[in-house]
Homo-oligomer: A and B are copies of this chain.
């Protein structure tokens, strides 16, 4: 469904990519690809599991430069190939409410008419406090950096 952004509650990253939506979609939805670009360096993605359907899991483990592991698990909500991917950590796979809800993520891909993609990543929060917390954690820098890593990955990969 069409998403309404609330500037008080939400964070938005917009970029233009020279690659087609199809390639970006693949990079976002195959665990072996996600593992290569999803953690902001020098962090790495130690594990990634994807069950690409509404209710399915999006699980990944981030590894800090010191080697500490940070597991995350979320639930896909909308999977519209080459167009829109929505998941949340407010639900576990199978839609069970989670213990530590923080945000819902929406990635949209729109063809620019010239072979490229208008790319948007949105984070929805339950209140202003959580939006500010996410901002302070470095949403723009972090998601911006992993977007660059995504583009670099696609440029060097045979997708």
Binary per-residue interface labels of chain A (108-142) against chain B in the complex, 1 for a CB within 8 Å, 0 otherwise: 00000000000000001111001000000000000
Q: Could you tell me the distance in whole angstroms from the C-beta of A151 to the nearest C-beta in chain B?
A: 26
Q: Which of A9, A77, A86 has the most CB of B within 10 A?
A: A77
Which residue of the partner chain B has the closest CB to A105?
B95
Contact A1 B77 (CB under 8 A): no
Per the bound structure, the CA–CA distance linking A101 and B99 in Å amounts to 9
Contact B99 A104 (CB under 8 A): no
Contact A91 B94 (CB under 8 A): no
Q: Is the interface of A mostly helix, strand, loop or mixed?
A: loop
The answer to whether A54 has its CB under 8 Å from any CB of chain B is: yes
- Given contacts A1-B55, A94-B1, whether A99 and B124 have CB atoms under 8 Å apart is no
Binary per-residue interface labels of chain A (72-103) against chain B in the complex, 1 for a CB within 8 Å, 0 otherwise: 00000110000000101011001111110111
Residues of chain B lying within 8 A (CB to CB) of residue A126: 96-99
Residues of chain B lying within 8 A (CB to CB) of residue A103: 97
Binary per-residue interface labels of chain A (9-36) against chain B in the complex, 1 for a CB within 8 Å, 0 otherwise: 1000000000000000000000000000
Per the bound structure, the CA–CA distance linking A56 and B78 in Å amounts to 12
Residues of chain B lying within 8 A (CB to CB) of residue A90: 90-91, 97-98, 101
Which residues of chain A have a CB within 8 Å of any CB of chain B? 1, 3-4, 9, 53-56, 77-78, 86, 88, 90-91, 94-99, 101-104, 106, 124-127, 130
Closest 10 CB pairs of A and B: A1-B55, A90-B97, A97-B126, A96-B124, A97-B101, A95-B104, A90-B90, A99-B126, A77-B95, A90-B91
